[in-house]
Amino acid sequence: MLKLIASSRIHRMHPTLLRPAHDSASPLLRVFGSLGGLSRRNTDVGGRYFFCSDSGNGSDQVVDAGFQAAEESQSKASAIVPTYPRPEDYLTVLALPLIHRPLFPGFYMPVFVKDPKLLAALQESRERQAPYAGAFLLKDEAEADPSVISSSDTDKNVYDLKGKELFNRLHEVGTLAQISSIHGDQVILIGHRRLRITEMVSEDPLTVKVDHLKDKTYNKDDDIIKATSFEVISTLRDVLKTSSLWRDHVQTYTKHIGDFTYPRLADFGAAISGANKLQCQQVLEELDVYKRLKLTLELVKKEMEISKIQESIAKAIEEKISGEQRRYLLNEQLKAIKKELGLETDDKTALTGKFRERIEPKREKCPPHILQVIDEELAKLQLLEASSSEFSVTRNYLDWLTALPWGEYSDENFDVTRAQKILDEDHYGLTDVKERILEFIAVGKLRGTSQGKIICLSGPPGVGKTSIGRSVARALNRKFFRFSVGGLADVAEIKGHRRTYIGAMPGKMVQCLKNVGTSNPLVLIDEIDKLGRGHAGDPASALLELLDPEQNANFLDHYLDVPIDLSKVLFVCTANVVEMIPNPLLDRMEVVAIAGYITDEKMHIARDYLEKTTREACGIKPEQVEVTDAALLSLIENYCREAGVRNLQKHIEKIYRKIALQLVRQGEIIDATVCSAQSMEPMKDKVDSDELTLDTVQKENSELVEGSDTKKAGETCDAVEEVQTGLSSDQSQSLEVSKESEEDKDIETKTIEKVLVDKSNLTDFVGKPVFHAERIYDQTPVGVVMGLAWTAMGGSTLYIETTFVEEGEGKGTLHLTGQLGDVMKESAQIAHTVARAILLEKKPENPFFANSKLHLHVPAGATPKDGPSAGCTMTTSLLSLAMKKPVKKDLAMTGEVTLTGKILPIGGVKEKTIAARRSEVRTIIFPSANRRDFDELAPNVKEGLDVHFVDDYMQIFNLAFGDEQSQNIK
C-alpha cells in the first residue's frame, strides 16, 4: 500500500517505514527510482504530507497535514494504522461526499464535514476501533459544466444535500477511507481500496452497502503493460525537468513505495495530475490495469504539454525583461499565460472589440457621419501606443461616442385621457397649464410625432413647477432628466470642453442622452432666470443654440465635435421671474405662467396631497389624528400666506412630527402603567370593590384628545377600543392612610381616540402666527387708500398713506418715505401733479396743494418697493386728504396713471385678486386693458367680487368719492 510521508522527517521515524521495494519489481523500481536521483539536492520538502486534495477553488495542492499524525504513528509499522476487523470486512459504511476530486488508494485527503450527525457518526466509528468510511465523488448537476470550477455558493448547496437526494448524486465507485484524525469539522482520510455502492441502508446519516472491488487479473510480464508503464515514467521524468512540485511528489513516492505495482503507478499519476474530477473518477472506476495505465498516460501527457508551454512562456518573458523591469515579472508572466490560453487578448484589441460590439446594434439607426467618425477613431486607436496620452483621449472619446443612443426613441403615449388623469393625480388646479400640455399631446397625436418644444413655467417658489415637468414626462411616457442652471457661470457645462484639455467632459445634454438612453427625453432646466455670468463666458448665450428649435437639430458639443439631433427633445424650463431671463433666450420659449394658489386651492392641496403624504411619512394612521378645516384655514392665512405650498408642507410636517412624538410618549406611559397594573393584581383582590369604584379617578385630555369616554372600573376591556392606562405606582401603601395618599394610588383610566388639532391649539404645534391681518383699518381714514401689489411670493395689499405736515404760502411740496424705488418715486410725482389738476377742476377755490407740505408714506419701510402700478392709488390718497373725504369701504385699486389721467394696464391680475380676497375686499378697480386677464380667472377666484374696469382717472374719482351714502362707518 502506498504511503506518502514527509521526506524531511523520514530519518527520525521508525526504520520499518523505509521498506525497500519488492524484488519482483526491482527492474521497474530501479528505473523509477532513478527519478528520485534527479532531485537529491532537494531532499527537504518542508515537513509536509503529500496527497492530492481539493481547496475551495478546486485546484490540486500540496497540503500540510502537520506532523501530529506521524508522531501518533511512530510506534506502528506503517503510516496507515492497522485496525481490527480488517478493511475488507466492512460491507456497510458511512457515505462521505467529495466535492472536487476523488480519493485514490494510498493518498491522504482532508474533507470538511458540515453535517453534525455525520460528524458524530464518524467520531463514534473511530472510537469503536472501526475508523472506516466510504468516500464518493459527487456528480455535477445536469446543467452544470464540469470544466467550470464551482463557487462557494454551490458548495453550500451541496452541503445541504441529505438522504435520498444525496444518494442519487453520488458516483457508484468510491474509496474505502480510513479516518486518520478528526479536528473540529475537518476529517483526515487515507484511501485503502475501491468500493462500489449497491444499495442505501439509512438516510441520516447516509449509510450504504458496498462491494469491495479488485483489479482485474493481468500479466505483469506483458510487454504492452510494461511499455505503457515505462512511458508513464518517462513522461514523469520529462515533467520533472520543469516542475519542482512534481519533483517533490515523485521523490516522496520513490522513497516510501511499498510493494510496487502497475495499478499503483496508474493511481499515482492520476492523483497528482491536474486533470478535472471526472477524468480522475474515470481512472478510479477503471479496473482493467492496462486501460487505467492508458488513461493515466493521457493525463500526464497533458501535463507535459502544459509544462512545455510554461517553459516556453518563461523563456520568452526572460528575454523581454530587462534589469529595470524585473519587478514587473510576475504581472507579465500572468498576462502571457492568459494570452497563450486564449483567456484574454491585449488591451487595444479588447477595447476595439468592445466599442464595435457596442455600436453594432445601433449601426442601422446611427447617422452615416457618426459611423464614419467612429471608424476613423477606431483605426487611429490601433496605431497608438497604449502608454501615450493620445491613446486615453481617443479611448474616452470613443467611449462617449458609442454610448450615446443614436436613433433610439422611446414610444410616446398620446392618450389625452390618460395624460389628464396623471396630471390631475399629481396636481390640483393649474387648469391653464394642464390645458397647454394636453394641447401639445393632441398635436403630437394628429401629426404622429411630437416635435420638441420649449415651455417655460414661471411662477413663485413652491407652486409645483418642477413637479409639473416630472408629471408631463410620465404622461408622455418619456424619460425624465433634470439639471439646474442656477448660478451656472461656465459655458463648458452646457457646450462641453475641448478634447485637448485634461479632464475634458461633454456638456450636460450629452450626459443627459447617455443617462436616459433615448434621444427624445423630457429635459427640465431649472432656475433658468438665475443664470450666472463668469470669466468663462455667458451661459445664457450658450443656451440659445440648445433651446432654439431651428438650431438644435444640429447641436454641436465641443467635446464630441459632431452634430447631435436634439429636435425631438422636449425642453421644460422653470423660472421665478420672467423679466430676469435675457430677451433672446425668452424669445425662444413659450411662457406658461403659474400664478399660485388661492386659499380654497391650498385647502384642497393640503387635504388631498400634503396631509396624506406627510401622515404616511410619519407612520401615523388616519384614525389617530384629525386636523380640522378651521386649523388648516388658520395655518394657511396666518402662517403660510405665500403663493406656493412648500411652506405649507413644512408646517404640516411640523405638526405631524409633534403628534408622532406625543403618541410615542403616551404609548410608553401606557405600556409602563399596564405592567404596573399586572403586578398589582394580588393587591386588587384585597381592596373592597365598592371603595375602589368610588375612588377611581378618570381623566380626560381636554386639548389633544377628542371623544374621551369615562369608564367605570367594573367594565370590561372589550368595551374599550382605545388604549387604556393602568394603575398608579403607589401599590404598596395600605388602605388606612389619609385621603390624599389614597388618591395618589388610585387607578387612572385614559381612553384615547385620536389627537385633535384645532384652531384653538394650533399654536402648540407651530408657534405664534407669522402674519397678521393685512387689513390695518376697518374703515380707511382720510388720506389712506388700499392698493394691490405683486411680489415674487404672490400678491399682497399695500396701504398708501398721505398726511398734512404744515401749511404756508407757496409751501406746496411732497415728501416720500417707505423705501420706494425710482419708478414709484416718479409715480408719486405724477400722482401729485394729476391730483392738483383734478382738485383745480373740481374745486377751483381750494388752494390745498399749492400751500400744503405733504408726506406720502408706504408702510413696511424695511421692504423695498417698486413697480408701475401705484399711480392711481397715490392720486386717490392725495385727493382724499385734500377733500377731507375717506374712500369707500372695502375698496382697493391698482393701475398706473399718466399726466393726462389715463390708466395704463398692469400685471399680476390673479395675484392681486387673491390678495384682495384675503383682505376681505369686495370692490376692486382694474385698468380696462386688464379685463381679458380677469375674465380668464377661475370662477371661484372671481366669486363675490365687484370689479370695475376704468381707462380714465375720473372714473376712479367717481367710484371712490361719488356715493356719499355708502361712506357710513360701521
Residue type, 74: Q
Three-state SS for 926?
strand
Calpha distance 3→190 (Å, rounded): 9
Element (H, E) at 546: helix 539-546
Q: 199 has which bridge partners?
A: 209
In the set 180, 869, 877, 880, the catalytic residue is 869
Alpha carbon 562 to its chain centroid, in Å, reads 34
Closest C-alpha among 928, 898, 924, 922 to residue 912: 924
For residues 968 and 970, give the distance between their C-alpha atoms in angstroms, rounded to a whole number.
6
Helix (H) or strand (E) holding 860: none
Consult the annotation and say whether 913 binds a ligand: no
Which three cell numbers mark 120?
458524530
Q: Is 274 annotated as a binding residue?
A: no
Whole-angstrom Cα distance, residue 350 to residue 340? 15
Query: Which residues are within 8 A (CB) of 628 and not within 5 positions of it... i.e. 6 or more apart?
Result: 756, 757, 758, 759
Classify 553 as helix, strand or coil: helix
CB 374 within 8 A of CB 401: yes
Whether residue 458 contacts residue 594, with contact meaning beta carbons closer than 8 Å, is answered with: yes
654 is in an annotated binding site: no
513 to each of 507, 571, 589, 730, 948, how far by Cα in Å?
A: 10, 13, 21, 71, 53
Q: What is the identity of the amino acid at 665?
A: R
The helix/strand/coil state of 946 is: strand
The grid coordinates of residue 160 equal 445541504
Could you give the 3-state DSSP secondary structure of residue 699?
coil
Of the candidates 867, 871, 944, 948, the residue with the CA atom closest to the CA atom of residue 908: 867
The answer to whether the CB of 529 falls within 8 A of the CB of 577 is yes
Known catalytic membership, residue 226 = no
Query: In the chain, what is the straight-line distance between the N-terminal and C-terminal CA atoms, in Å?
Result: 123
Find out whether 465 is annotated in a ligand binding site: yes
Q: In angstroms, rounded to a whole number, what is the distance separating the alpha carbons of residues 247 and 36?
A: 8
Give the pairing type, strands 570-575 and 454-458. parallel
Sign, CA dihedral 496-498-501-503, equals positive
534 a known binding residue? no
Give me the catalytic one of 294, 745, 754, 912: 912
Label the pairing between strands 522-526 and 570-575.
parallel
Based on the residue annotation, tell me whether 912 is a catalytic residue of this protein. yes
* b/e burial code for range 895-914 (CB count within 10 A of at least 16 → b): bbbeeebebbbbbbbbbbbb
- 750 CB-near residues (< 8 Å, 6+ apart): 670, 698, 699, 700, 701, 708, 723, 724, 725
Where are the alpha helices (H) located in 687-821, listed in sequence order?
Answer: 689-695, 739-744, 763-766
CA distances from 438 to 416, 417, 937 (A): 6, 9, 19
| CA distance linking residue 135 with residue 111, whole number of Å | 10
For residue 223, the one-letter residue type is D
Residue 148 marked in a binding site? no
| Three-class SS state of 362 | helix
Whose cell is 443656451? That residue is 543
Q: Is the peptide bond before 263 cis (omega within 30 degrees of 0)?
A: no
CA distance 338 to 577: 63
Nearest to 492 by CA among 455, 456, 542, 420: 542
Q: How many CB atoms lie within 10 A of CB 624?
A: 15
Check the annotation: does 563 bind a ligand. no
What contacts 964, CB < 8 A, 6 or more positions away? none
Known binding residue 759? Answer is no
Q: Are strands 186-202 and 173-183 parallel, antiparallel or unpaired?
A: antiparallel
How far is Cα 884 from Cα 802, in angstroms, rounded to an integer?
11
Which parts are annotated binding residues? Answer: 459-466
Which parts are annotated binding residues for ATP? Answer: 459-466
Active site residue ranges: 869, 912
